[in-house]
Structure 1
Amino acid sequence: MSFTDEAQSDVPLLSEKHSGIPPFLLEKARKAKVSVFETRTKPKATRNRLPVIPHGIEEQVFVDALGELGKQLGVENVERNDKPLTDGWYMEHPNTHDLMAVVDEEELVPSAMVYPGSTEEVQQVVLWANKYHIPIFPISMGRNLGYGGAAPRVRGSVLVDLGRRMNKILDISAQDYTCLVEPGVSFFALYEAVKEKGYDHLWVDVPDVGGGSIIGNTVDRGVGYTPYGDHWACHSGLEVVLPTGEVIRTGMGALPGNNTWQTFPYGFGPYSDGIFSQSNFGIVTKMGMTLMPNPGGYESFMYTFQKEEDLDQVIEIIRPLRIGNILENVAQLRHVTQSIAVIGRPRSDFYKGDGTIPADVVHSIVSNFPMGDHSWIYYGMSYGPKHIRQYKLDIIDAEFKKVPGARRIDPATLPADEYFWARDRIAAGVPDIQELRWVNWMPNGAHIAFSPVSPIRGADATRLFELARRRHDQFGIDLFPAFCVGLREMHLIVELVYDRADPRKRRDVLDCLRHLVDDAAACGYGEYRTHLVLMDQVAGTYSWNDGALLKFHEKLKDALDPNGIMAPGRCGIWPKQYRGRGWEMTKTSGENTQGDGVAPPSQ
């Protein structure tokens, strides 16, 4: 397919593809696709580093091994990665490489992609990988864009794509408010299934963009924006294929004939689910999840605050309201630069100079927007019957109005395409696709995130904001921060948007991020999630007691995965066959993601 044909092809529907769009979002998805390709200047890639072969495996041995796997899974479910790399976009994302690459796009690529259709076939893949000592890298759907997408950490790994054929919703319990899903079930798909069954009393908590896997998002500890926004806290029981091929079920799922898998997460004995979150200790093939009861009404609200230095006071106001559940959902406090970028227009429409966009330009632009000039904007929602909502909203209004110049924006004054309405839908459990419009800020737009966690304190918010601004100014990168406030902590999500076709821009973004990670750690702030190329550095910041935690993870890895085949390097956890061979990516490693080989099986 040519670049023009790709840009003009229609967006797949859920009825056509497991990763498709619901019909109610089709027109919005079409417009989003047009805007993505309007800013794309990057030519289609040619392959300069073929063939891609797993480390330590001879090519003919690998070819024969793939042929053997094809006989087990069906030849149509085993595919070599030897064609040009097609970037696609969010709704038609690749599983051949990282769509939003921050290093050379041929660095983090699999040698092949395989598509198991059941837990038994996942077992077959794992046993095959152990037989030939071939590294595998499982994904649910590969839409973890900004954190590596579908790319494996070790070049030449075989990608195990669970989404294409393992995409069934196995159960939705209208009585228990739970569901049981496979890895290829997106938030789009679960929402549509709930609606099709007429379960209006059930809500699905959804993240910013609804096309990702429920399992993938949850095991990576992603968040949504209703009171059920902590997805990992809302899961209940896993089915897991271990690196040696055994299958276990955790929690109540381990009890034969149980009827509480999705309702009680703990079962009996040690709680083992945690080791399968952000790890390379197994492949999750089924997961129970709780659903939110319809609260009987909801009302979104939005406040603007005029000065950047208001941040301290605003966060101090938010903390007791959030802990006391007056502010009920995982809401967002966003910086004014995002108010501009989220409309989806390129930066060059507003400013063509070098360096970061000046503050006076930002405020001049946003003063003409429906919400008016501001420095911070808070998106929240109140739930329940009207009289209950009003009680809480009055408290919130009185508290926020203590900040001089604070304004509550009347939603009736906002046009239908205003970003506020996307946040309104998401906080009501309705998936959307509007969020990533800010990636169009740069040609060939890509993003990568700085994601530290802190207490809900004004001093911490200010320190992190100033830390991020200092490094962004140093590297000439526009600053897009948003504070996502949980019950007793907050995530600062800073999206660094860059032109992925420009090696210098990629290098600047990666250098900026590496400084930010170390700067934050020096102040006591750790990342909760990160891109593949930063995992070693981030894991290294959790270094208390001479790195005791990482050593513990390595002991678990060696016990559960003696052949080191399962996603080596994920979250900084390397099997013994890779340790001491330079695989870790640090400030000094540059863009080289590869180490000095792998120890042979006899070692």
Structure 2
Amino acid sequence: MPSACSSDSVNDSRQPGSPRAGEAIDRWRRLLGAEGVDGPEAAQQRYGACTTGLSRRIAGALRPASRDEIVELLAIARECARPLYPISTGRNWGYGTALPVIDDCTIVDLSGLGAIRTIDADLGLFEVEPGVTQGALHQYLQTRKLPFMVPTTGAGPDASLLGNALERGYGITPTADHFAAVTRIEAVLADGRVYRPALSELGAELADHAFKWGLGPYLDGLFTQSGFGIVTSMTLALARRPEVVEAFYFAVPDAGAFEDVAMAVRGTLQDLGSVAGSVNLMNRHRVLSMTAPYDHSCVGSDGLLTDAAVADMGRRYRVDPWMGMGALYGPRDVVAAARKLVRRRLARPTRRLVFMTGGRARVLESISRRALGRSHGIPAMLSRIRSSLDILEGRPDRVAHGLLYWRRGGADLSTVTDPARAGVGLLWYAPLVPFKPDLMARYVRTCTQVLRAHSMEPLITLSTLSDRCVDSSVPLLFDPAVPGDVERAHRCYDALVEAGRELGCMPYRLHVGAMAGFTRSDQTFWDLAARVDSALDPGRILSPGRYAPVSGR
């Protein structure tokens, strides 16, 4: 596997200084106006910052405002042989931010396409364009008093819904798998044609929005984790806001009981089905990164907090070796019955099992602030619980950003909204782990060993995608300003991938520097992906290298 820090360039005819590059920029400016086009220097300044520590040479940037403009700018790209890299809002932090996979691409910034359309409120069907963020959809629903939940993620209110779904991202609201909520996609192909599913072509528009699988081969999925087209809209089937959303929190005092707790969580999900949302299991380090200041005076010779320091912080902040969080959704009587089942399943292997609603958390936070002051630990803890409940209830929040600034002394998340611009170093390692408690325990041990070997604090979360599979999210935090830190982080990522491969646990998505290492193989899967790409885009102008081999290698 090649180094994740490497980059591939396209052939010389596509370099930014080639004659056709200048011609393309001039023609795009006539199409979009001067304010809608950046040359290389301006594009580098606007889009070049990235939490991964990677850099790419950016040939320019385009900001269309409509699908028709996308069709026209693609025609220019084809004629001038200019590779394009579409982004939704460019907030793919930890995976590449706004960077293309390879050098010398022109970014197509789709954040200007921000329309939300109610297809059918009775059916909970809403169409969104690439620039629609979690916060924008929440505001849209609130303003119109529509009783639906935003499919939130930890990325927060400024991140694109469409971009996350196309990466097959997930959250912890009732529809954890965000692409599962996508019922219909429209896209512009490399040749300028507009893709619409078969039912729409036949005039059955509402049926097309309402039924995910449509008629004939299922092609919508081809546009996820690929460069097969520029997706201009998707329909989301939103979860209706239930009568009750009740979170539950629990602690695991003995790390040796991890497998028993995992088994109990799996049994809970099997029993409750859709009443239970995703459950998060977080190790002590991960919870402390969101609740306690980083104590640089307690760092050992390996550059990490000592075990004694972590144990002491755990006692002071009441953070056990593992902590868990989940949620129940439904009518009041259904949630009450589910609460009893959760107690029965989790009472023995856990402690401090607490159930909390958003209203109760807000009241307790207000009372504790008046009694103890804002700076006291208890109001701060209740504030974080209230923020986590907001996310569980489908209200976007930046609370998860806190861990990114842990070693830097924290940040005001109301004003520091872009980790890349703030100079944060972040890579996400996100492997899929089959829901087998013994395998999960081996994964945790292996992951911890690899992280420590590379002087990375082991911040580990396991999020249930179903009762069959979990995803682990592991942030690799580093300082891009420190010489050698970027390379260390990428070596750690590569080592985690190899160690996970031996366990059968591989990432469900990749950062832009890792894609080449997965797609260089001669496996039938990647060969077929390359053939589909070549058939749709023979000039290879759309997202070269994105989950596909780069032409000519």
Q: Distance in 2 between matches of 1:329 and 1:447?
A: 27
**353 and 437 in structure 1: CA distance in 2 versus 1, 3 angstrom threshold:** farther
Q: Does 1:368 align with 2:316?
A: yes
**410 and 294 in structure 1: CA distance in 2 versus 1, 3 angstrom threshold:** closer
State the Cα distance separating 1:63 from its structure 2 match: 1.8
**442 and 454 in structure 1: CA distance in 2 versus 1, 3 angstrom threshold:** same
**252 and 537 in structure 1: CA distance in 2 versus 1, 3 angstrom threshold:** same
Q: Is the 8 A contact 1:251 1:264 kept in 2?
A: no
Partner deviation per Cα, 1:262-305 (whole Å, 9 max, x = no partner): 21122211000111000011110011001111211121110010
Structure 1 residues 141-150 or 466-475, which shifts more? 466-475
State the Cα distance separating 1:362 from its structure 2 match: 1.0
Q: Is the 8 A contact 1:54 1:157 kept in 2?
A: no
State the Cα distance separating 1:364 from its structure 2 match: 0.6
Q: Distance in 1 between matches of 2:306 and 2:197?
A: 53
State the Cα distance separating 1:386 from its structure 2 match: 3.0
| Structure 2 counterpart of 1:341, from 285, 289, 296 | 289
Q: Does 1:73 align with 2:36?
A: no
Partner residue, 1:16: none
Partner residue, 1:203: 149
| Structure 2 counterpart of 1:173, from 107, 120, 123 | 120
Partner deviation per Cα, 1:235-284 (whole Å, 9 max, x = no partner): 01111111121111125333336222321122211000111000011110
Partner residue, 1:123: 71
Q: Is the 8 A contact 2:15 2:21 kept in 1?
A: no
| Structure 1 counterpart of 2:172, from 225, 233, 239 | 225
Aligned AA (1:194): L
Partner deviation per Cα, 1:418-440 (whole Å, 9 max, x = no partner): 22222211111111111111111
Q: Distance in 2 between matches of 1:349 and 1:142?
A: 36
Q: Does 1:406 align with 2:351?
A: yes
**518 and 271 in structure 1: CA distance in 2 versus 1, 3 angstrom threshold:** same
Q: Distance in 1 between matches of 2:401 and 2:519?
A: 28
Q: Distance in 1 between matches of 2:298 and 2:486?
A: 22
TM-score using structure 1 length: 0.80
Q: Distance in 1 between matches of 2:28 and 2:43?
A: 24
Partner residue, 1:21: none
| Structure 2 counterpart of 1:547, from 516, 523, 535 | 523
Structure 1 residues 280-289 or 254-263, which shifts more? 254-263
Q: Distance in 1 between matches of 2:125 and 2:53?
A: 38
State the Cα distance separating 1:520 from its structure 2 match: 1.1
**85 and 211 in structure 1: CA distance in 2 versus 1, 3 angstrom threshold:** same
| Structure 2 counterpart of 1:568, from 528, 531, 544 | 544
Q: Is the 8 A contact 1:280 1:568 kept in 2?
A: yes
Partner deviation per Cα, 1:90-115 (whole Å, 9 max, x = no partner): xxxxx512431323xxx324211101
Partner residue, 1:41: none
Q: Distance in 1 between matches of 2:236 and 2:492?
A: 37
Q: Distance in 1 between matches of 2:302 and 2:406?
A: 14
TM-score using structure 2 length: 0.87
Partner residue, 1:383: 329
Q: Is the 8 A contact 2:185 2:233 kept in 1?
A: yes
State the Cα distance separating 1:306 from its structure 2 match: 1.3
Secondary structure, counterpart of 2:473 in structure 1: strand
Secondary structure, counterpart of 1:417 in structure 2: helix
State the Cα distance separating 1:156 from its structure 2 match: 1.6
| CA root-mean-square deviation | 2.2
State the Cα distance separating 1:56 from its structure 2 match: 4.3
Q: Distance in 2 between matches of 1:130 and 1:501?
A: 39
Partner deviation per Cα, 1:145-175 (whole Å, 9 max, x = no partner): 0000100111120000001x21111225321
Q: Does 1:457 align with 2:422?
A: no
Q: Distance in 2 between matches of 1:446 and 1:478?
A: 13
Secondary structure, counterpart of 2:272 in structure 1: coil
State the Cα distance separating 1:344 from its structure 2 match: 7.2
Q: Is the 8 A contact 1:439 1:447 kept in 2?
A: yes
Gaps of 5+ in 2: 1-11, 366-377, 409-422
Q: Is the 8 A contact 1:170 1:182 kept in 2?
A: no
Q: Distance in 1 between matches of 2:546 and 2:354?
A: 43
Q: Within 5 Å, which residues of 2 pair with 1:227-246? A: 227-246=174-193
Structure 1 residues 107-116 or 468-477, which shifts more? 107-116
Q: Distance in 2 between matches of 1:102 and 1:307?
A: 37
Partner residue, 2:60: 112
Q: Is the 8 A contact 2:51 2:425 kept in 1?
A: yes
Aligned AA (2:193): E
Structure 1 residues 111-120 or 379-388, which shifts more? 379-388
Partner residue, 2:499: 519
Q: Is the 8 A contact 1:238 1:250 kept in 2?
A: yes
Partner residue, 1:101: 52
Q: Distance in 2 between matches of 1:503 and 1:534?
A: 21
Partner residue, 1:136: 84
Structure 1 residues 231-240 or 260-269, which shifts more? 260-269
Q: Does 1:424 align with 2:389?
A: yes
Partner residue, 2:417: none
State the Cα distance separating 1:84 from its structure 2 match: 9.3
Q: Distance in 2 between matches of 1:305 and 1:393?
A: 19
Q: Distance in 1 between matches of 2:351 and 2:519?
A: 40
Partner residue, 1:355: 303
Task: Return the structure number with greater helix share.
Answer: 2
Q: Within 5 Å, which residues of 2 pair with 1:187-198? A: 187-198=134-145
| Structure 1 counterpart of 2:340, from 391, 394, 398 | 394
**173 and 345 in structure 1: CA distance in 2 versus 1, 3 angstrom threshold:** farther
Partner residue, 1:478: 457
State the Cα distance separating 1:54 from its structure 2 match: 7.5
Q: Is the 8 A contact 1:446 1:497 kept in 2?
A: yes
**287 and 451 in structure 1: CA distance in 2 versus 1, 3 angstrom threshold:** same
